[in-house]
Amino acid sequence: MQRAYEVMFIVRPDLTEEDLDKLISTLQTHATNAGATVLNAEKMGKRRLAYDVKKFQDGMYVLFTLNADGKSVHELERRLRVTEPVIKFITVRTDEEQQRLDKVRKLRAARTKRPPAEAAPAESEGSAVTA
């Protein structure tokens, strides 16, 4: 069953731009060969890490958005684990979040379609007490 995933990985900061492009295209090819469909590959740039990872303080972030089954994701994660320039990665299944957001939108739409509640009767002006 195809599901939506986001795979974020961090690459060594000393990698050149052309090597990064080559790495991204290689990982996209491996994901496609494993049965995944890569919807988007976004380079997010170089950022400071919250803590040192493999003695690096900075890293270049890359985000893959893909549709895949469990076996394809497992194969992509295996490739990321053994790829030397990749210092950290995380995979998140996003279709559950999308289902939750759709449900919330549906509930909000149902609320706005209801007729408004009866307005409270206005107080008469003569009943106000002055000091």
Distance of CA 130 to the CA centre of its chain: 60
Identity at 11, one-letter amino acid code: V
CATH level 3 topology of 3-97: Alpha-Beta Plaits (3.30.70)
E runs forming strands in the chain: 3-11, 37-53, 56-68, 86-93
Closest by CA position to 49, among listed 85, 92, 9, 93: 9
Q: How far apart are CA 65 and CA 40, in angstroms?
A: 5
Given a cut of 90, whether residue 130 has pLDDT beyond it is no
pTM of full prediction above 0.85 = no
Tell me which amino acid residue 45 is. G
Convert the pLDDT of each residue in 19-40 to its tens digit: 999 999 999 999 999 999 999 9
